[in-house]
Structure 1
Amino acid sequence: MADTRDARPPTDEETAPLLQDVDHPNADSQPQRSSFASIMHEPLTPLTKVLLVVTLLFLLLSSTFIGLFAGAQHKLNTGHGGDSPATVTSTVYATATQTQTSTSTSTSTVSVPGPVPTGPPEDPACLSADCIILSSSILSSLDSSQDPCENFYDFANGGWLKEHPIPSDKGVYGNFEALAQQNRRVLQDILTSDAYVSPSTLTASYDEQLMKKLRGLYASCMNEGKLNELGTEPLAAVTNNIRKLLYGETTVVGDKAPHILEKKITGLTAAIAYLHTRGIGGLFETSIEGDVGADPNFMTLWFSQPELGLPSKEYYDEDSFVELYQEVLERLLITLSEEEEYIDAPELSATRSEEVVYQERLRVWPPWPWPPWGGDGDDDDHDGDDEPEPMDPEKAHKVAKNVIKFEKAIANASLDLDILYQDPIATYNPVPIDNLTEQLPQIDFPEYFAAFTPRNYPNTAILMSVTYPSSLSAILNETNAETLEGYLVTRAALALAPYLGYETEAWKAVRSLEERLKGLKKGAVGDRAEFCTTEVESALGFATGRYFVNETFAGDSKKKGTQIIKDIIETFKSSLRHLEWMDKESATAAAEKADAIRVKVGYPLSPDTENPASIALYYSRVEIDSETFLENILSSNANEEYLTWQKLGKQRDPETWEMYPSTVNAYFNPPANEIVFPAGILQPPFFSRTWPGYLSYGSFGQVAAHELTHAFDSAGRMYNQHGKLEQWWTNATSEGFKERQDCIVKQYSEYTIDDGKGGVIHVNGNLTSGENIGDTGLIQSYRAWKAQYESGLANGSEYLLPGLNFTREQLFFISFARGWARNIKTESAVARVRTDPHSPNQYRVDGTVYNIPEFAKAFGCSAKAKLNPPKEKRCLFW
């Protein structure tokens, strides 16, 4: 799940969901089956005939699935790597009557063949069509040739992985991606339908406004002919503005973004403000979040390092990637230089002689004098007598090479990601704004802030790295004009080229880099409609979210999802009293923090998903009047930056979200002390309001437990119940936690992935420690399920599925593992292991159950099994 530390700080019940949930019999009774004998004695009315046929079909399907599973079960019983099954000691586990919630149980043991799933309970199975389909989907995901006690991820997902190869245009495809794709199909239907009927005539005009913007943006993306006709011109207009601002040829930063006041500033400050106000990164990054050291709800300026052109600093030491990256930058520089020679020339020139001067100016890299922020005008490449140098391939090669050298210097000056993500103490460094200006004098920060038109100007900045501003200043002082210009231009090109037509040189150049980094098939392009739907969702996600929720989040979905979360919170609080490493004082404080966590499910109220007027106001500054897709995207980006900066100096709005309703993800925000679950993830295979409890708690329950546990992970534990950064555990408890954290760092650091070159890359246990600890929360979901098991059994919500020769306990863990099914290209896997604070999915499954004794008990694992280690090797947090 996502965590707001990973990225920059994405009711009335509705009816008739478009995505059909899996139904089950009435919760007040056990599933009822028809009596075949009684039917035979009734007159064969048309209705009786229909019912008879339906009954026969259900029986036939049931027997077929049971027969198929019997063969698979036979393979499982004899397929543990030897000629005959081993005899091991296994726990006798009685599913129908087990109610104990403690992790310490008294058990009896017998010698049985295994390890194999324990026998199915004798309760009658649900034989409805939906139950049969759900059972079939579980069976088809399994690989019974795998031993669950050795390779549980492969056992639970092998069938799914085999049947879902990675599309040629993607680097990864798993259940998260499949659900996101399914959600986008819902949005696509909304965007392409002829009309939308507002639920209320009072709000119809606002829904009409929103639909016009959504469909206008989608149409501008889908108009491939127009995009190819425009070519690189929309991008060249942006890069041309960057050049003019950098050299003082224009002073209007707010051009083509009407909601941003026109601020007349010059030089590097103007150029970087122009990029940042349009959501394009470079040099440094700013964000608005609570001041966690003083008042977590007082929104403050945070200053950090930027993203790089390549995924991580390691890539800058690999010749093959550097060579490709340099080639891509050269292609971008040349094509943009050629295009810019004709951009805006008539408008900028009052006479022909001025136009000639302007065109001449464009062919000189860099214009003179330099640097734009002042100085004596010295430059290594210009002594005042040099002739203008055109942007030819040789020049582009030189500039691209220097840009990469410049980026590598920034990478070396940046914090390592494990510190950036996992050490909130080291990354909290409040300083006066004057201090930031002194460290980085090349940027006029008051003028930079003015470009965002905040209502309150900051007098304090929180540095995530105390050394980065001064290091960046030193790098800038050693960088000549043409290199800095090339850097700014290519940052814009890399970010915006994907919004151009497929036939443009800029799009092809950036795509070639993406293909190499992600392992995509060369020349393979995905469905245009899917791409455009994704971009509309990204640009106007709260608007698309309103209609997504109307279509998919019906009935009591929100109520049932919230109940699972609350059950897990209560179970977590109960478990705190039994932790040997946590003293009573710290346990009491942890329970108070758990009680104080704000739970958000489904969709936000700011902007209000149920009120189109609220959403229309949120997007009122977004102009989608242009046929130019890139200009529409820039308008949306500028709106987001504007709204973000309006938060500065204010108290946090408790109803805001950092994800859209259709997002397949969830997050914990430490300063706000909140856990958030969009409607997008509250869909199968993660959630259905009609599923039996053991599936619901195994799938969505693990999502909820993961986010809750983030509040007490390696970084989250440093924030108190109010979101303030302080020491609120006793020293003894902190030491006990640190021992377990060291344990899990060591465990995951031993895991490896293939590097694609005949070697391996180790998982960064420090970088992933927070997420790995979050995954240990699965035990809380298991305990929460067991705590409600008897009542669930009584009301029919623990019904069995046909053909599944597994206990409910086993199906709980299978349901957990299925959510993490994912095929991934080697290149994408390498990029993720270097940059992602989440471990590879295989280890998120096997590494998690390794630390849960209840898993080994459920599957009767041998004491020698890989996933049943001795207690001293387990990292037991909870």
Structure 2
Amino acid sequence: MGKSEGPVGMVESSGCAGQKRPGFLEGGLLLLLLLVTAALVALGVLYADRRGIPEAQEVSEVCTTPGCVTAAARILQNMDPTTEPCDDFYQFACGGWLRRHVIPETNSRYSIFDVLRDELEVILKAVLENSTAKDRPAVEKARTLYRSCMNQSVIEKRGSQPLLDILEVVGGWPVAMDRWNETVGLEWALERQLALMNSQFNRRVLIDLFIWNDDQNSSRHIIYIDQPTLGIPSREYYFNSSSNRKVREAYLQFMVSVATMLREDANLPRDSRLVQEDMAQVLELETQLAKATVPQEERHDVIALYHRMGLEELQSQFDLKGFNWTLFIQTVLSSVKIKLLPDEEVVVYGIPYLQNLEDIIDTYSARTIQNYLVWRLVLDRIGSLSQRFKDTRVNYRKALFGTMVEEVRWRECVGYVNSNMENAVGSLYVREAFPGDSKSMVRELIDKVRTVFVETLDELGWMDEESKKKAQEKAMSIREQIGHPDYILEETNRRLDEEYSNLNFSEDLYFENSLQNLKVGAQRSLRKLREKVDPNLWIIGAAVVNAFYSPNRNQIVFPAGILQPPFFSKEQPQALNFGGIGMVIGHEITHGFDDNGRNFDKNGNMMDWWSNFSTQHFREQSECMIHQYGNYSWDLADEQNVNGFNTLGENIADNGGVRQAYKVWCGSYRPEFAIQSIKTDVHSPLKYRVLGSLQNLAAFADTFHCARGTPMHPKERCRVW
């Protein structure tokens, strides 16, 4: 569950930095066995009966419909009744699931989310492979893209040639060329190289420039400048420790192997010494960039991050040894025929990084910087090449994710097409698998959960009445998007086809097709600079098992893919719907009031609507939660502690949502991925999401008769909302 937003693209490297990404429901995994009070009370009755504890109430009615029986079986299968729930409720509720499920060789973690996504992908495979009747242009293009991805024999036959061709366009990859300095290097300009990577290949390397809603005026778009992401998912991997060193060594060997193969394919000598030296320099450069970036836990205060300035001030503050900001930005925007205005403003998020970048640019040669820029493009494109290139990353992926086996080809292709043509694919999924009347039922649940959230504001002694009133106004102003945008199903509405009008795919040119997607995606985002913000725009596809909250829009989104059991079903007891999608709704609503969302008003504008009294007490309440989660030590991640600062927003949302419904998250991690997760994930590990939120809930201890001082009934509880 998440809190920030932005355009999404499927990338094989670590993605695009700084971009206000969709904050996701579960950070990519997790099993959710979601139970409302009624369901947990039912478990409590079973437990009480086993312990001989008298219950005050008798169950007056037993539901025996197929939906109820299925839900009951799921709950019982997932439980481990040999565990005392007051000692370890996670094991009590999830032990059966953990015992019955082994992490597949292709996965770094496994949960009900993975199960649901597997099932969703089976549906998508069928609709993408269906060619019995000609469909609308957008859908036909999605099917062509899918077939090009599945055309493995052609991909193998073409080998590295598509990549070698594109390297010429980007000014060459010095490590895989002969005499780069003498041919290209003398005309090399950093501004133009960064602009080319950004506008043509959607790779925002070294400096992250993107367009999104202005935090201070959510009705308009503005240019953002921020620190970038890195080749390895977390900056922590670039610092010394035994596990980090293994990842870095595998990453370097991956770089060396790819460069060596491309030299051979270009009929150049292997020159192992040159390749090793060049790529070691690239890793050293990237390590310095990692040190220059600010850790995520220090970037939670969006008000402190936000610095709006004109181009002259940008140039004077961050000269970067003569880097021409106007040239860089104008070259990016020229790709969509936009001219900078005389009074153009930008928002700088990454001031400390830009201050540190100057010395780095001064230290490294044009050759090393170009090697790095092109490596990031190559890293992103490995998955579009023949199998021998994928084989070079096996050890790196093993060190990073714990996996040795790659996803089967059809699943990889389904995921790629869904990520890049989400509305076209979403239209196929909705027609095939989404019952239309679900929308109204979910909307009713949202209204009820929102009402409960507003009512609980009265319980908060730390918040004054004026701030409570503003919080109520914001909660009541939250807009919702449910299932899918209507136009993707309207045959006479050409909007869906127009979205993909610039794409022309060929079944035999998967690599080139993927480059089209990068370019069109980048330019679609850049064009927004001169467009008004569309409050009804969907920025996530329908065929997605996830949900999120957007602070700039004060909006919660529940795609069709998540509106299925165990989250939601017309057939299962309403209690489980409240505990399932109801918990998700409560979580997303609470994101509007977490450490990030609280900085935005009911219209999505960054504004301090809090009194000094309430602000101070919010921080004090949050400190309790930071300390609580920061003291959880995770055995799978070499006993590292959870980052209470990084995970604060999600923990606040978990604890807020659980007051409308109880929930349990069950799932397994590989140790390598556990280490990555604790460095990069804004969510706490599954076990501690369960234990942390339920330890803070008095009703839980009451239901299970947990004595004070037991693990699930601590002497001190934390509460924000």
TM range (shorter): 0.7 to 0.9
Among 481, 504, 507, the alignment partner of 2:390 is 507
Is the CA contact 2:599–2:607 (under 8 Å) kept in the aligned structure 1?
A: yes
The match for 1:491 is 376
**Inter-partner Cα distance in structure 1 for 2:173 and 2:313:** 26
Shift of 1:219: 0.8
Cα distance, 1:456–1:174 mapped onto 2, change above 3 Å: farther
Distance in 2 (alpha carbons) for counterparts of 1:589 and 1:297: 21
Superposed displacement of residue 242, structure 1 = 1.9
**AA matched with 2:205:** G
Among 600, 623, 627, the residue aligned to 1:746: 627
What is the match of residue 2 of structure 1? 2
Partner Cα separation in structure 1 for residue 555 and residue 348 of structure 2: 24
1:773 and 2:695 correspond: no
CA pair 608-476 structure 1, distance change in 2 beyond 3 A: farther
Specify the alignment match of 2:257 in structure 1. Answer: 331
Percent identity, aligned pairs only, is 29
Residues 422-466 of structure 1 deviation map (CA, whole Å, 9 limit, x = unaligned)? 211121111212333442443532443234315463611111121
Question: What is residue 863 of structure 1 aligned with on the other side?
Answer: 708
Q: Residues 816-857 of structure 1: CA distance to partner in whole angstroms, max 9, x if unpaired? A: 21xx22111011111011011111111111111111111111
SS at match of 1:287: strand
Question: Which residue does the alignment assign to 1:272?
Answer: 194
Q: Is the 8 A contact 2:427 2:488 kept in 1?
A: no
2:685 is equivalent to residue 840 of structure 1? yes
Distance 1:393 1:455 in 2: 45
One-letter amino acid of the counterpart of residue 243, structure 1: G
Distance 1:159 1:743 in 2: 32
Match of 1:394 among 269, 273, 292: 273
State how 1:710-749 maps to structure 2 within 5 Å. Answer: 710-749=591-630
- Distance in 1 (alpha carbons) for counterparts of 2:490 and 2:627: 44
The verdict on how the C-alpha distance between 1:555 and 1:243 changes in structure 2, with shifts beyond 3 A counting, is closer
Q: CA deviation at 1:526?
A: 2.7
Cα distance in 1, alignment partners of residues 234 and 659 from structure 2: 35
Q: 1:591 to 1:633 in 2, by over 3 A?
A: same
The residue that corresponds to 1:583 in the other structure is 464
Where does residue 27 of structure 2 map in the other structure?
none
CA contact (8 A) 1:171 1:824 kept: yes
Counterpart Cα distance in 2 of 1:158 and 1:653: 46
For residue 429 of structure 1, the aligned residue among 284, 303, 307 is 307
Computing the radius of gyration from Cα coordinates, the structure with the larger value is 1
- The corresponding residue for 2:497 is 616
Contact 1:174-1:823 within 8 A present in 2 as well: yes
The answer on 1:664 being equivalent to 2:555 is no
**Aligned partner letter, 2:644:** G
CA deviation after TM superposition for structure 1 residue 309, in Å: 1.2
SS class of match (1:215): helix
Alignment check: 8 A CA contact 1:663 1:681 kept: yes
What amino acid is the match of 1:275?
M
Maintained 8 Å contact 2:3/2:592: no
2:205 aligned residue (265, 279, 282): 282
Q: What is the aligned partner in structure 2 of residue 142 from structure 1? A: 79
Structure 2, unpaired ranges of 5+: 7-17, 22-41, 175-179
Q: How many Å separate the matches in 2 of 1:445 and 1:642?
A: 15
Residues 1:449 and 2:375 aligned together: no
State the distance in 2 between where 1:77 and 1:494 align.
58
2:148 maps to which residue? 220
Name the SS of the counterpart of 1:301 in structure 2: strand
Residue 552 of structure 1: how far off its partner (Å): 2.1
Equivalent residue in structure 1 for 2:89, among 152, 155, 179? 152
Q: Deviations over 1:332-373 (max 9, x none)?
A: 2222233345xxxxxxxxxxxxxxxxxxxxx7xxxxxxxxxx
The residue number in structure 1 matching 2:59 is 121
Measure the CA separation in 2 of the matches of 1:588 and 1:610.
44
Q: 2:118 aligns with which of 158, 170, 181?
A: 181
Give the C-alpha shift of residue 779 in structure 1.
3.9
Choose from 672, 678, 685 the match for 1:827: 672
User: Secondary structure of 2:309's match?
Assistant: strand
Give the SS at the match of 2:643.
Answer: coil
2:333 aligned partner, one-letter code? A
Question: Would the aligned equivalents of 1:245 and 1:266 in 2 still touch at CA under 8 Å?
Answer: no
The one-character-per-residue Cα deviations of 1:631-684 (angstroms, maximum 9, x if unpaired) are: 111111211111111111332101112211111111111111111111111111
Counterpart residue identity of residue 875, structure 1: C
Letter of the 1:316 partner, please give it. Y
1:848-871 CA distance string (max 9 Å, x none) = 11111111112222223211123x
CA distance 1:392–1:611, change in 2 (3 Å): farther
Q: Which amino acid aligns with 2:92?
A: F
1:218-246 CA distance string (max 9 Å, x none): 11111111111111222222223222499
Q: 1:610 to 1:831 in 2, by over 3 A?
A: farther
**Which TM-score applies when normalising by structure 2?**
0.88
- 1:463-501 superposed Cα distances (whole Å, 9 cap, x missing partner): 112132232232112111321122122111111101212
Work out the CA distance in 2 between the residues paired with 1:91 and 1:849. 23
State how 1:362-381 maps to structure 2 within 5 Å: none
1:477 to 357, 362, 371: 362
What does residue range 288-299 of structure 1 map to in structure 2 within 5 Å? 288-293=211-216, 295-299=217-221
Contact 1:245–1:267 (Cα < 8 Å) also in 2: no
Cα RMSD of the aligned pairs, angstroms, is 2.7
Equivalent residues of 2:445, 2:582 under 8 A apart: yes
Q: Verify the 8 A CA contact 2:294 2:352 in the aligned structure 1.
A: no
| Change in CA separation of 1:576 and 1:423 when aligned onto 2, cut-off 3 Å | same
Structure 1 residue 126 displacement after superposition: 3.0
Structure 2 vs 1, CA of residues 437 and 629 (structure 1 numbering), >3 Å: closer, same or farther? farther
Query: Is contact 2:173–2:371 with CA below 8 Å preserved after alignment?
Result: no
- Describe the shift of the 1:717–1:609 C-alpha distance in structure 2 as closer, same or farther (beyond 3 A): farther
Counterparts of 1:276 and 1:487 in 2: how far apart (Å)? 14
- Residue type of the alignment partner of 1:195: T
CA offsets 1:98-118 (integer angstroms, 9 cap, x no match): xxxxxxxxxxxxxxxxxxxxx
Inter-partner Cα distance in structure 2 for 1:244 and 1:323: 25
Cα distance between partner residues in 2 of 1:415 and 1:93: 54
Deviations 1:792-811 (A, max 9, x none): xxxxxxxxxxxxxxxxxxxx
**TM alignment of 1:66-105, pairs within 5 A:** 92-94=55-57
The structure 2 residue matched to 1:707, chosen from 588, 594, 616, is 588
**Is the alpha carbon distance of 1:676 and 1:728 closer, same or farther for their aligned partners in structure 2, counting shifts above 3 Å?**
same
- Structure 1 match to 2:9: none
The one-letter code matched in structure 1 to 2:305 is: T
Compared with structure 1, are the counterparts of its residues 190 and 857 closer, same or farther at alpha carbon in structure 2 (3 Å cutoff)? same
Normalised TM-score (structure 1): 0.73
How much has 1:764 moved relative to structure 2? 0.6
When structure 1 is superposed on structure 2, of 560-569 and 431-440 the one drifting more is 431-440
How far apart are 1:874 and its partner, in Å? 0.7
CA distance in 2, matches of 1:652, 1:607: 20
Is 1:519 aligned to 2:402, yes or no?
yes
Question: What is the alpha-carbon distance in structure 1 between the residues aligned to residue 105 and residue 230 of structure 2?
Answer: 26
Are the structure 2 counterparts of residues 93 and 622 from structure 1 closer, same or farther at C-alpha, using a change threshold of 3 Å? farther
Whether the 8 Å CA contact 1:428–1:462 is kept in 2: the answer is: yes
Give the match's secondary structure for 1:837. Answer: coil
Indicate the SS of the match to 1:430. strand
3-state SS of paired residue (2:305): coil
Distance 2:169 2:309 in 1: 33
**Quick one: distance in 1 between partners of 2:2 and 2:490?**
22
Q: For 1:245 and 1:150, how far apart are their aligned partners in 2?
A: 57
Is structure 2 residue 536 aligned with structure 1 residue 655? yes
The gaps in structure 1 that reach 5 residues or longer are 11-65, 79-84, 95-119, 197-204, 252-264, 342-362, 364-389, 783-812
CA distance in 2, matches of 1:751, 1:628: 49
C-alpha displacement at 1:248, in angstroms?
11
CA shift for structure 1 position 726: 2.1
